[in-house]
Chain A
Amino acid sequence: DAGVTQSPTHLIKTRGQHVTLRCSPISGHKSVSWYQQVLGQGPQFIFQYYEKEERGRGNFPDRFSARQFPNYSSELNVNALLLGDSALYLCASSLAGGEINYGYTFGSGTRLTVV
């Protein structure tokens, strides 16, 4: 069984550009969460989707958006990139959202560098 897959693994963009990051959850998992991890910090929550609906949103500007597709894969979009958006973007999949601990499985991440 494939784990959580993210693409691309590395990306270099210039300020002001737009980027789309992709995530495929573990087969059978219906929830995807996105986190941003700046070097030396813990992951910061951006979005959670479950059954194609947004279940949670972190404290990020409207330049950040996401969606989940019928096959439960997900995209994270960031517009008008800033230097401060340079980070490792992690996707985590779980069976479901909510209070039951299904646990998170993280993908290897996309390393975004904005120059």
Chain B
Amino acid sequence: GQNIDQPTEMTATEGAIVQINCTYQTSGFNGLFWYQQHAGEAPTFLSYNVLDGLEEKGRFSSFLSRSKGYSYLLLKELQMKDSASYLCAVRDKSGGSYIPTFGRGTSLIVHP
């Protein structure tokens, strides 16, 4: 199985930049996902990384280092609506299941 670790809570100021880290341990890495989840709502897909490097998508970017078992989600020009939980999920191919395992999520609070 996987061991996924991310901070429980972070706070940031509107307009600022925040980086949410995720570390993982897995024997058969096959991709890392970031999801955003507002309170009481379903998770929504943000990004997918399977190769090392930075993937940029508007205000959100995601980085992966497979050798270090490390990823981060970078949020720029923070807005109040970015207050949400951010879930890191790792897919493992061992056993042929390819099923993502989620971390417990990082609750981001954006204040004025």
A residues adjacent to B (C-beta < 8 A):
4, 33, 35, 40-45, 48, 55-56, 90, 97-99, 101, 103-109
Mark out the residues of chain B between 63 and 112 whose CB falls within 8 Å of any chain A CB in the assembled complex: 87, 89, 93, 97-105
- From B107, which residue of chain A is reached at the shortest CB distance? A40
- From A111, which residue of chain B is reached at the shortest CB distance? B40
Interface residues on B, range: 20 to 34
B54 located at the interface, meaning its Cβ lies under 8 Å from any Cβ of chain A in the complex: no
Complex partner residue of A48 from B30, B43, B93, B99, CB under 8 angstroms? B99
The answer on a CB contact under 8 Å between B97 and A43 is no
Interchain residue pairs A-B with the least CB separation, the first 4: A42-B102, A106-B42, A56-B97, A42-B104
The answer on a CB contact under 8 Å between B93 and A107 is no
- In the assembled complex, the Cα of A43 lies from the Cα of B105 at a distance in Å of 9
Q: Which residues of B contact A97 (CB under 8 A)?
A: 98
- In the assembled complex, the Cα of A94 lies from the Cα of B13 at a distance in Å of 35
